[in-house]
Structure 1
Amino acid sequence: MSTYLPREVRDDLDAARMAKLRKRNRLRVLVGGEAWPVLRLWRSGFAVEAERVPALRGLVDVYDGSQHLYQCLIVASEEEGGEMRYEFKRNTAAHDSPPLDHARDPDTPIALLPR
C-alpha cells in the first residue's frame, strides 16, 4: 500500500481543513482596529490562517463573537500547514467592570431612590 498522495490532493485536503476551521469558529483577534479570524485557540496560544492574516505582534485582543475574552501580548511561534501559530507572553482575562478595591457588603443598597 502506498502512502504517497499527489500534491493536488494534499492541497485540496488542506484547503478543505482550513475552510472547516474558518466556518465553525466565531473567535477573532483584533489588532489595530482590524479583526482576523482565529482558527484554533488553546491555553498557551492561538493559530490564524498564514496566507490571509499579516504578521501579528505585540498587544492584541481576542473576541468570541462580540464578547471580549482576553487581552494578550503575543509572539510568533511557527508556521505549519497553512497556519501561523502565536504564543502568549501574557494573557489577561477581560472583565466588563473594573476590579474592586474592597469587599462589598451584600446588604448595601444598589441605588438610592429619590423622594
Structure 2
Amino acid sequence: MPTFLPKEVLAGLEAARQRDRKRNGRMLVEADGKTYRVISFWEGGFALDAENAPHLRGFVDLYDRGQHLYQCLIIASGEEDGRMIYEFKRLTAIQDRPPQDFAPEKGDRIALPLPSDLPL
C-alpha cells in the first residue's frame, strides 16, 4: 500500500539530509586559496553543496581532517539534488617521500658505509 507524505514533510526531510551531509563531511577541497567541504566522495569524483560551490575547473587539493591526500585535475559536470558534481580527470595520491627512479636490489646499501667497512 503506497504512502504519500505532504510536501512540507518531504521538504523538511530533505533539509535534514542536507544538514547531516554538511555536518558529517570530513573532507575538504582547496582551490584558489579557498576551502569547501566535500559532501560525498567516490572513485570518479566528489560533490559539494550547490549553494556555495563555484564551478571549479583545474587543479585542486583534497584533504581529510588536515591530511593532504590527493592532488586532482577536475571539471564541474553539473548540479544534481542540490549538489554540485565534479569529475576527476586525474587523481594523484600524495606520497610521504620522493619517488625512486630505480628499483632497489636486494642487499643494496641504504646509507654511506661505516668507517670500519672502508678498505685500507
Please name the residue that 1:63 is paired with: 63
> SS at 2:29's partner residue?
strand
Q: How does 1:84-95 map to 2 (within 5 A)?
A: 84-95=84-95
Structure 2 gaps, min length 5: 115-120
Q: TM-score, normalization: structure 1? A: 0.83
**Residues of 1 paired with 2:93 and 2:53: CA distance?**
24
Identical aligned residues as a percent: 46
CA shift for structure 1 position 102: 2.2
The count of aligned residue pairs is 111
1:109 pairs with 2:107:
no
Q: Output the amino acid matched with 2:43.
A: R
> What RMSD over aligned residues (CA atoms) do the two structures have, in Å?
2.2
Following superposition, the deviation at residue 109 of structure 1 comes to 2.9
1:81 aligned residue: 81
Larger Rg: 2
Stretches of 4+ aligned residues off by more than 4 angstroms:
104-107
Residue number in structure 1 paired with 2:4: 3
TM-score normalized with structure 2 length: 0.80
CA distance in 1 between counterparts of 2:94 and 2:63 reads 10
The CA distance in 1 between the partners of 2:47 and 2:109, in whole Å, is 46
Q: Which runs of 5+ in 1 are unaligned?
A: none
